[in-house]
Each structure stands twice: as C-alpha cells, then as structure tokens.
Structure 1
C-alpha cells in the first residue's frame, strides 16, 4: 500500500499475477476488455481488483504518456458572486464526470493579477483554459490564440475567441420591450464599462428595443458603474440627482439592481411606486426580493463551455454558443 493509502499499479499487478504494463494497458482500454494484452478472464480480474481496492490511476504518469495533464484551468473575477459560482458548478460537474480536474482561480477584477493567474495556470500544464474575466479587446486572449492554446471564453465574448454565453443582447431587448409596455416616460441605466460584453450587449439590446418602440431617447440616462451592490447604490444616487430623475431603472445585473433598491428605500422612496427597478440574471436573492429580471442558464453555460473545450482537445470543429434567456416579470418593475 502506498503512503497515501492507495493501491499502486505495481501492487495491483502482483495481485493479478501480471506485469504492471499489462494492468495499465487493460485499465486504459475504454471497453475494459482488451484481449490483446490478457485473456478476457484475466482482464476482468484486473478490473474487479481495481474496483475492490479503489485503485486510482496516477495522473502524472498518464500525462507523460498522453502529453495531457487532465487539468482544466478556470478563471473567474470572483466566486462569492452567485453568477460565477453557479457557472463553476456546471463546469465542475461536467469536468468530474469526464475525468478532468477543474482548477479554479480568481482575478478580483485586477487585470494584472488576471494575466498573472493565466500564466500560472499555463505553468501548471493545464490542457485548456475557461476564461470568464475577458474583455472585448483582450491582448492575453490574442496571445493564447496565437499559441493555438485551447481556450473558451465563458459568459462573455472577446474578439474572435470561441465563447459560450447567454444571449445578452436579446435579454436586454426583452427588458426594453417590458419597460415600453409599462409606459415609463424616463429611464435610467446602470451599466459597467464598455469593454465588457455582458454590460455592453445588455445595454445595447435594451436601447435597441426603446428605439424600435419609438421611445424618446433623450429621456434615457446612462451611468457607468459596475456589477456590485455598491455600484448599484452609487448609480441610483447619481440618477436620483438628475432633474428630472428617471421613473424606472434597468441595472445590467441583479447585484447592482439590489444595491439600487436598497439606496432607493434608504431615501424613503418606494419600489416600484416611486422608482421601478429591474436587474439581470435571476439569482436566488432576486427571486426572494421579487425583482423583475432576465433569467440566464448559468449552470448550462459552465457545462457547455467544458464540452466545447473537450472538442478542442479532440481537434473537432466547434463554434461559439449563445444560449437562450427569459424575461421574468415580478413586483419591482
């Protein structure tokens, strides 16, 4: 028994009365019944012994043979946000089921740290990277593309990189149509920077719906903040300082929408009677607060992204994926 309490390949070979190379070849056969190296009876005995002893293949030895580590690097801005943690659950579930190990790290919205993390993942010989913290124009992604390194951008889009995301422009458009139906005469938008596709696409889809509906675009005010609760608080305070203040606010994610609601109520105003608010993503807290929002398939985005990365490993043709979204109308707008 090894120091870690696991049966080694050599010990398994001794139990089965065969060579370690025979055990390795049989257990690496997808069907588990390779007769080129052993009789069907002997092969089955090896398989049974491996199951009984809880034998686990040595990933380092396997990587020397296949030139693959079985590691997938995953980079998110943070994991204390439900959106990213839900996507990571999708990543991890699929990766585990297909014998990959998802090595996750975070950038904390720091561009320099993000690039450092990417190179640290490369140093650890990951087979591919799932990158959520991507910008529309991103030098590090161009660098990875030039190296032909397997990469999938998750929940965002960036240049010509392969990506898996929900249909943010469509989601923004659906929300814009809803605001038109509600008859709001003045509207504020709390968005993030224009270098991030999720923010830009949701904003642009929303504005396109207003324009298509003949809305007076001079009655739209946009404030560039971010995705956090604090950004929502700051954004709505800035909007309320306008004269006149908007009648309704679209925040491009639920966190900032929730921050906006807190700040509105902190000023003694009512939602939606005095100021309507809508968000984006349909997080559990949004559901609990009755927030009007757009539902996105976060778990599926993560899962699908790993499948796309796996296609790259196999040198198969694969295209970017855009998953459908749904407008969820509740009490706040």
Structure 2
C-alpha cells in the first residue's frame, strides 16, 4: 500500500507539517532530515508534486497551452519542452484548446488558479483578451511560434523561410506558381511566411503567382488543391505547411498527375514523414524539438527572475528533395 505524507510523519515520529516543510525545501534539523529520508527510501515514497505545488508559494509546474495535439509541430515542441523541464526539476501541465481562442484565454486563468510558476503559450493569434489575461495573472508567460512586442517570444524565422523557398523555386525556372497559404490571423504562417515568399518573387521580373487560402488540415487542402488543378494547372505549388503539401500530393495522385514531372510541390516544416513519402518532399525544416527545449529553458529563467532576451529567432534550413523538377 502506498504511503502518504501522514504515514511518513507517523513512521518518522514527527509532525506532518515537518515532513511537508522538508519536502518543500524548508529548514529541519539534521537528525529529523535523516529520519525522514530513511523512511522515504524504505517505502519508495514519491511526493505528490501537484498537491505540494498548490500549497507552496512557488511551484515546480509549468503550464503549456497548445492549439491542437494532432500536429507534428506541436508534438515535437511539447517533447522538447518536457525533456528540458524534467532536467530542470519542473513538471508540465498541458491545456489543449482545439483552436478555440476563448479556451486559450480560459486556460491562462485556469493555470493561474492552479498556481503554476510560468506559462508557455503556443497561439496562432494574440488578442487584447490574451494580453489582459497575461497582465491579470502576473505570472511569467513565454509566447512560442508568434511574435508580439509586449511579450517574451521564441519564434522561427518565417520570413526567411518563405524567402529562401521563393528564391529556390525561381532558380529552378518556375514562373507559373501557386502559393497555398492559411488565414492571416496566424501571423507567423499566414503573414510572415507568405511575405518572405513574396519578397523573393518580387525580385523575379516575369513570375505569375496566384495566392489561395486553405486551412492547416490536410483534408481541406485536398479540396483546395482540387479547385486549383481544375482551373489552371501551374508548374509548381508552394504549400505553407508540409501537411498542406501532402494534401496537394494526394490530390495529384488521384488525378494521375505525376510529381515532379507534371507538377512540382514544396512545403514548410520538415516533418519526418516528408522524407519517407514518394517522391520525398522539398521543404524548409524547422527545429521544433530545439524550440521546445529552448522555450523550457527561457520560461524557467523567467520564473527565477533572470534576464531573458525579449525576442529569440530560430534559424531554418532548406531541404532539397525529389518533389521539385527543374523547368
């Protein structure tokens, strides 16, 4: 039978408050410390960190708010956060909002009520309601994936990602191009990634680019791709994410369009599956795992009151594979 804090106190012959003080790093006599440690080791007692944290002024828990769990970028970022936090003696709580903005706001307040030490926020858009919630709770918050002047942020270089992809496809001779983006409510993917691409295209004097908007879901990208390929097939489709790119490739397969001979396709993200599908996908790789580790390090520093750079930008890398043909 598992022992609780009361059992440990009784076996050690001390008050429950003394055991609690020991577990929270408070001062106890050397003799008492040895007694408690001996009992803990004997019964393999594991403290309930969550319960301890609710009573402590300072907790060992970091709250992480994510828009969705069925995303490669999110899952890899969470793995990085968890690995780093464990090494820093923190634990992570996750709130999944299913891309519901009100649930994001609620999650911020909920975490504050649970007395987390800090919050890592993965959000597509930062509104006045977000800023008010962050101001109200007075807990360190780190924004990951988006940039905001008032918040500590960790972002990928989306503008550079779009630019290097645009330069590459132009260098390969493509002039009739479709860009499949997402809503501009998402500043990183919907705005900055597309802006970087446009910047490269503006340096090309004879490019014809059509811009379409879809969602992050592969199933909806398939529908948008069907529309594009029925209207006027380009030589290349640049998809704003690898998921969208795979939706395009699925549609092309259904329509017996050969990639890259009849249609070139590119993405952004560098998901593991993109090097296993056929043909392999040309993409811009984002190091989501490293982003997660760095986010955990930064939030722990903020919790400890240390200085952290306001905005940290992570590099990206163009990965050349089989899905782009030279024109």
Output the TM-score relative to the length of structure 2.
0.86
The answer to whether the 8 A contact 1:107-1:133 is kept is: no
Out of 160, 185, 188, the residue aligned to residue 195 of structure 1 is 185
Is 1:104 matched up with 2:100?
no
1:89-121 Cα shifts (integer Å, max 9, x gaps)? 112222333333322122222223333343333
Is 1:185 matched up with 2:175?
yes
Is 1:88 matched up with 2:84?
no
Query: Which sections of structure 2, spanning at least 5 residues, go unmatched?
Result: none
Secondary structure of 1:278 counterpart: strand
Within 5 Å, give how 1:151-300 maps onto structure 2. 151-199=141-189, 200-212=191-203, 214-217=204-207, 219-243=208-232, 245-289=233-277, 290-300=280-290
Is 1:144 matched up with 2:133?
yes
Further displaced range: 141-150 or 270-279: 141-150
Residue 119 of structure 1 corresponds to which residue in structure 2?
A: 109
In 2: Cα distance, 1:120 partner to 1:17 partner: 38
Output the TM-score relative to the length of structure 1.
0.85
1:43-97 Cα shifts (integer Å, max 9, x gaps)? 4554344233222334466436632343322222211222211111112222333
Q: Classify 1:167/1:52 alpha carbon distance in 2 versus 1 (closer, same or farther; 3 Å).
A: farther
Secondary structure of 1:286 counterpart: helix
Could you tell me how far 1:331 is from its partner in structure 2?
Answer: 0.6
In 1: Cα distance, 2:206 partner to 2:39 partner: 74
The answer to whether the 8 A contact 1:134-1:153 is kept is: no
Q: Classify 1:26/1:294 alpha carbon distance in 2 versus 1 (closer, same or farther; 3 Å).
A: same
Residue 322 of structure 1 corresponds to which residue in structure 2?
A: 313
In 2: Cα distance, 1:240 partner to 1:60 partner: 53
Further displaced range: 91-100 or 269-278: 91-100
Could you tell me how far 1:141 is from its partner in structure 2?
Answer: 2.4
Equivalenced residue count is 319
Residue 29 of structure 2 corresponds to which residue in structure 1?
A: 38
Residue 7 of structure 1 corresponds to which residue in structure 2?
A: 3
Report 1 or 2 for greater relative contact order, CA contacts < 8 Å, sequence distance ≥ 6. Answer: 2
Give the aligned CA root-mean-square deviation in angstroms.
2.6
Query: Which sections of structure 1, spanning at least 5 residues, go unmatched?
Result: none
